[in-house]
Structure 1
Amino acid sequence: MAHKSLGEKYLLGSGRVPKIVDHDERRLELVDATWRIIARLGIESATMREIATEAGFANGALKPYFPTKDTLLTFAFGHVFNRTNERIAEVTSGLSGLAALRAFCVEVLPLDEERINEARIVIPFWQKAINDPGKAQIHRESMQQWLDAIRRHLAEARDSGDVSTAVDDDSLAGQLLNMLLGAQIAAALLPEGQTDLGLDRQLEGFLSLLTR
């Protein structure tokens, strides 16, 4: 029988159970706190102290997870992208062609407060990516993944006859992606409490042009 350490004997004897910390969950709590601070105060006011207070942690408790605000921002961007992709996978399951393309775009467009807050995370990341090759690479790889998905759905729609425009799919995919990214900027600049930019109607207008 293995001998227990003094610490294990103390915990067993006292009835105390050591708390198991879920580090992934803790990181996500910090990312959520970051979103709330940025939504209220902007990126410059989202200090590590403010984020820790918002999340209910001591200031020094952030260091093991995110040594700097920059590492937190990079993780937050990755989380936004992954969460958006999870939503896309869910809503496009079993769909193809224009139906899948429409569902894809709706999940990317900032149509509600949650997705507007996501845009407020993405835009500061883009700003830093201008002069940071590592962040620029993350952005390029992410956008390439989306472009590939858009082209795939366009090709499906061509095959089914739902897309008949003479404009080639590469051009269409680029136009659509730029529309989606531009919508992030427009939404992030909306006055507090406003969420309607008419983006869903603009999307339908774009898709209707594909059959002409």
Structure 2
Amino acid sequence: MPKIVDHDERRLELVDATWRIIARQGLESATMREIAMEAGFANGALKPYFPTKDTLLEFAFSHVFNRTNQRIVRVTEGKAGLEALRAFCLEVLPLDEERINEARVVVPFWQKAVSDARKADIHRESMAEWLAAIRRYLGEARTSGDVSAGVADSVLAGQLLNMLLGAQIEAALAPEGHLEFGHAAQLEGYLALLGKIPGGK
């Protein structure tokens, strides 16, 4: 009896192989042949799932984004305000090898998105989702009195998101094995400032 192929599982295996290769060797080394070898498939096995490397890169970015979101859901369950915001940020920041590898996938995707409208749309939609979550947590913290900074939450959310994305760039460009960037301390410093100035809106 022929083996039944789980196409969703195979697609996920190929995406996993893609981000591992990009993380180790960079985007240019992530050839279709290398990806197939990493996943343990024949070279032609990729075509039915991902006709081009660009489509595979899009799926790899979405996969990394979804992995991060799954972690966020777990760590923010039952939390609100600054507690939830801190937990959210700690899952996005590249604080260990796994999340640094994720950053090494995201940064090449951003490079492609500069001149690819579809990838730019994927990025914008993803960041809009994160901004909405950050603003929600800030609003909860404002209501509870934990945030009193005299700066609009929309501005604070943009600042924080840019800090998170900048941390990913720093980690992606760092030498192999470099894991400590001070990002957790920077986050705590930022959160501490949110309650320093009264009269926020």
TM-score per shorter chain, which class?
over 0.9
Deviation of the 1:35 alpha carbon: 1.7
Aligned: 1:79 with 2:63: yes
Partner of 2:19: 35
Task: Give a deviation string over 1:14-53, Cα, whole Å, max 9, x none.
Answer: xxx3211111111111111112211221111111111111
Partner of 1:11: none
Partner of 1:3: none
Partner of 2:30: 46
Rg larger in 1 or in 2? 1
Asked whether the equivalents of residues 19 and 105 of structure 2 are also in contact (C-alpha less than 8 Å), the reply is yes
Q: RMSD between aligned alpha carbons?
A: 0.9
Aligned: 1:204 with 2:191: no
What are the ranges of 5 or more consecutive residues in structure 1 without an aligned counterpart?
A: 1-16
Partner of 2:199: none
Q: Partners of 2:21 and 2:136 in 1: how far apart?
A: 37
Aligned: 1:129 with 2:113: yes
Aligned 1:146-185 pairs, distance under 5 A: 146-185=130-169
Q: Which amino acid aligns with 2:42?
A: A
Q: Which amino acid aligns with 2:132?
A: D
Q: Partners of 2:174 and 2:72 in 1: how far apart?
A: 24
Which consecutive aligned stretches of 4+ in structure 1 deviate over 6 angstroms post-superposition? none
Q: Partners of 1:46 and 1:157 in 2: how far apart?
A: 43
Identity %: 77
What are the ranges of 5 or more consecutive residues in structure 2 without an aligned counterpart?
A: 197-201
Deviation of the 1:133 alpha carbon: 1.1
Q: Partners of 1:27 and 1:120 in 2: how far apart?
A: 20
Aligned 1:44-123 pairs, distance under 5 A: 44-123=28-107
